[in-house]
Amino acid sequence: MFHRIRRRAKEPSEAQRQFAELHARMQGQVPPGIGVPAAEPEPAEPARLVDDFLPPELRVPSHDQVDGKMMPWKQPLVLDGEMAACAECGAYRDWLILSTRGEIWLRCRAGHQQQETRLDTAWFNRNSGPADATHATFEDCLRHLGH
């Protein structure tokens, strides 16, 4: 076996001969720019900041800048097959649903509020539409929603 390996090393194969011929012909025919280090880029002038964000009147606060969100819910609210009703006055429709600090609260037209543990923030986010306004106070928001 060792004799065959040595014999092959002494006698180049046809493919090795063709490669050697091609290599000899290509000597000195390197395309320009090959093997030459790339030129260092010129230092660019500092990027100028462009304020391409929304204008201030169209911006909305992020979730960490608001104390809570609320939405109207006119129809009866059915949870786990049971209709939610106000614990004080018995109202079962025309709710304001408030989401604040990871809790959901129901507020009836009479102004009574109760925490609803069967709902969570994910439910609120799935069922609420986009915010149409932001308000500085809770009372301003209540007035905006007609309560």
Residue 97: partners with Cβ closer than 8 Å, 6 or more residues away? 70, 71, 72, 73, 77, 104, 105, 106, 107, 116, 119, 124, 128
- Inter-CA distances, 114 with 77, 103, 106, 107, Å: 14, 11, 5, 7
pLDDT of 147 above 70: yes
Question: Is the model more confident about 75 or about 50?
Answer: 75
pLDDT of 25 above 90: no
Q: What is the pTM of this model?
A: 0.57
Half-sphere exposure (Cβ direction) of 114: Cα atoms closer than 13 Å: 17
Which pLDDT score, from 0 to 100, does residue 38 have? Answer: 73
Residue 31: partners with Cβ closer than 8 Å, 6 or more residues away? none
pLDDT, tens digit, for every residue of 108-117?
999 999 999 9
Give the model's confidence band at 118: pLDDT under 50 very low, under 70 low, under 90 confident, else very high: very high
User: Average of pLDDT values for 51-58?
Assistant: 76
Half-sphere exposure (Cβ direction) of 58: Cα atoms closer than 13 Å: 4
